[in-house]
Structure 1
Amino acid sequence: MDTALGSTRPRLRIGLIANRAHQDAPDSALVQLFQRAKKSIQALDIEWVVVGRTLDAIQTHGLTTLCQPHVRFPYGREGGLMKLVAHVVNSDPHNSIDAVIYLIDPVDHSSIFPEALALKRQCVIHRKPFLSTLAAACEWLELEALAQGDRDHVGDGVGLNLSQESIALIAHDALKQNMLQIAEKHFSLLDQFAHRYATGTTGSLLNQLAQKIKGEQAGRNWVKPFLSGPMGGDAQIAELVLDQQIRRILFLEDPHVARQHEADIQLLERAARTVTDFALVISDGEGSDRWLRLLNERLKLV
C-alpha cells in the first residue's frame, strides 16, 4: 500500500464484516478492533466498505467517526458478502478492495457459506490480505500505518519480543520453493523467534536451508517438523495455537488445486479464529514477504 508523493491512487479501501458474536457486545472483537487500532486507523487514509449489519453495530457502539468515509453494502442475506467478493476481484482501483477484515466466529455457520469461502480464496488468488482474527487485523493496520511513514501510532508491543514467541511455517507443494525464498530473505528475523514449527516436508526443507546458512549442527533443528498436513500436522500445530503457544502462522496456500485434507487446513484456521485476539494467519507469499519486512521495521521501534 506504499504511495509515492503526488500519486493519484485512491485511498486505501478495506472491506469489513464481522459475524454476529463479534459485533454485538460492548467488548466484542469489532469494538476492540476500533479501540486497539484507533491510532493506526487515524494514521491511514481508509475508505471502509462495510456489510450491512456490521455497519449497524458500528453505529450502535458510537464508532462511526473511526469508520469515515464508508460505503454501505447490503446485509449478508441480501448479497452483501457476495458483492464484497466481486469487489476483491475488480481491477478498477476506484472500486476494488485492497484488503478484507472478516472477523470470523468459528461456530457461526455463515462462515462456511460459499460466499465466505470464496471471499478468502479470491483474496489469496488476487494477493490481498484476508484478516480473519482480531490480532491479524490490529497488527496489519499498525504495520500499514508504519509503511506510510507514521511513527506516532505504534501500540504497546504485545507479541514483539520474538525471543518469547513462536511461528508456524506451512506451504503447499507448489509453494514450498516460495517458502524457502521467503525464509532465506527474512532468515535473520525468523531466527529471532524462540521456536519455529512446520509440517512435514516444509520443515525438512527449512532445516536444510538453516544448515546451509548457520552450519550443519546449528541449523539441524532450526524448525521442529510435525507430521505432513494430510497425516495430521495441521492438527498438531492447531493445538499449540489453541494453547496460545504459537501466535503467528505463515501459511502459503495454493488455491488452485483440490486438497483432500481441506478439513485439516480449515481446522488450523479455525483454531486461530477461536483465539481471535491472540493468533493471526498470513496466507499468501507476497503478503507474507511484506508482513515480515514491516514486522522487522516495527521491531526497530520497540
Structure 2
Amino acid sequence: MTPRVALIAHDHKKDDIVALAGEYAEVLRRCELVATGTTGGRIADAHGLSVERMLSGPHGGDLQIGARLAVGGVDIVIFLRDPMTPQPHEPDINALVRACDVHNVPCATNIATARLILDALVRRLDEGKSA
C-alpha cells in the first residue's frame, strides 16, 4: 500500500517544510501527498512532487485533511506549527491533532519529530513494507 502523507505548515514554517520536503523528496515521491493550499503549491513548485492541494488552513484545509484522516485516508501527518503566533483557526488545528490521536496516526509538529517519522518511513519502504 502506498503511504498517504499530509503536509501542513503555518506561514512562519513554510520555508522549513519546503526544505524538509527537499531532504526527503525521494521517499515522498513514493507516497500519495496531500497538503493545505499554499504549502502544497510551494512543495510542488520547489521539488516537482505531485501534491493534492486542499484549501488553505484558515479556509478549512486542516478540516478537509482531518476528515480524510478520520476515514483512513491519511497515514502520516507532518504539521509544522508556529507555537509563537496565534492562529485564527486554532480550533481546526486542535481538531486535526486530536483526530491523529483518536485514530492513532503519527503526527509531527516540529522538524525533529518529522525527521524521525520520515526516517522510519524510509526504512519501511526500503524493506518493502507498507507504512
**TM-score computed with the length of structure 1 as normaliser:** 0.41
Among 14, 17, 30, the alignment partner of 1:176 is 14
1:291 aligns with 2:117: yes
Kindly state the Cα deviation for residue 288 of structure 1 after the two structures are TM-superposed. Answer: 1.0
2:47 maps to which of 195, 210, 219: 210
More helix by share: 2
Q: Structure with the greater relative contact order (CA < 8 A, sep ≥ 6): 1 or 2?
A: 2
Aligned equivalents of 1:224 and 1:298: distance in 2? Answer: 23
Answer yes or no: is 1:258 the counterpart of 2:86: yes
SS of the equivalent of 1:203 reads helix
| Matched positions, count | 128
Q: Distance in 1 between matches of 2:42 and 2:127?
A: 32
CA RMSD of the aligned region, Å?
1.4
User: C-alpha offsets along residues 211-252 of structure 1, whole Å, 9 cap, x if unaligned?
Assistant: 3xxxxxxx5xx1011111111000100110001011110010
- SS of the equivalent of 2:34 reads strand
**1:209 Cα shift?**
1.6
1:300 is aligned with what amino acid?
A: D
Q: Secondary structure at the match of 1:170?
A: strand
Cα displacement string for residues 104-161 of structure 1 (whole angstroms, at most 9, x for unaligned residues): xxxxxxxxxxxxxxxxxxxxxxxxxxxxxxxxxxxxxxxxxxxxxxxxxxxxxxxxx4
Distance 1:259 1:196 in 2: 24
Match among 36, 44, 60 for residue 199 of structure 1: 36
Q: Distance in 2 between matches of 1:166 and 1:297?
A: 16
Match of 1:267 among 91, 95, 109: 95
Question: Secondary structure of 2:92's match?
Answer: helix
Match runs of 1:42-57 below 5 Å: none
CA deviation digits over 1:8-52, x for unaligned, max 9?
A: xxxxxxxxxxxxxxxxxxxxxxxxxxxxxxxxxxxxxxxxxxxxx
Maintained 8 Å contact 2:106/2:117: no
Residues of 2 paired with 1:300 and 1:207: CA distance?
24
**1 CA distance for matches of 2:90 and 2:98?**
12
Distance in 1 between the 2:126 and 2:37 partners?
33
Measured against aligned partners, the alpha-carbon deviations of 1:139-186 in whole angstroms (never above 9, x if no partner) come to xxxxxxxxxxxxxxxxxxxxxx4x2x2110001111111101110010
Task: State the one-letter code of the partner of 2:36.
Answer: T
SS of 1:257 mapped into structure 2: coil
Please state how far the C-alpha of 1:274 moved relative to its aligned partner.
2.4
Q: Write out the 4+ residue segments of structure 1 that deviate beyond 6 Å after TM superposition.
A: none
Aligned twin of 1:190: 28
Report SS of the residue matched to 2:91.
helix
Distance between the aligned counterparts of 2:99 and 2:23, measured in 1?
Answer: 28
Partner amino acid for 1:187?
A
Structure with max Cα Rg: 1
TM-score w.r.t. the length of structure 2 is 0.90
Q: Which residue of 2 aligns with 1:214?
A: none
In structure 2, how many angstroms separate the alpha carbons of the residues matched to 1:301 and 1:192? 13
Query: How far is 1:301 from its partner?
Result: 3.0
State how far apart, in whole Å, the 1-side matches of 2:39 and 2:12 are: 11
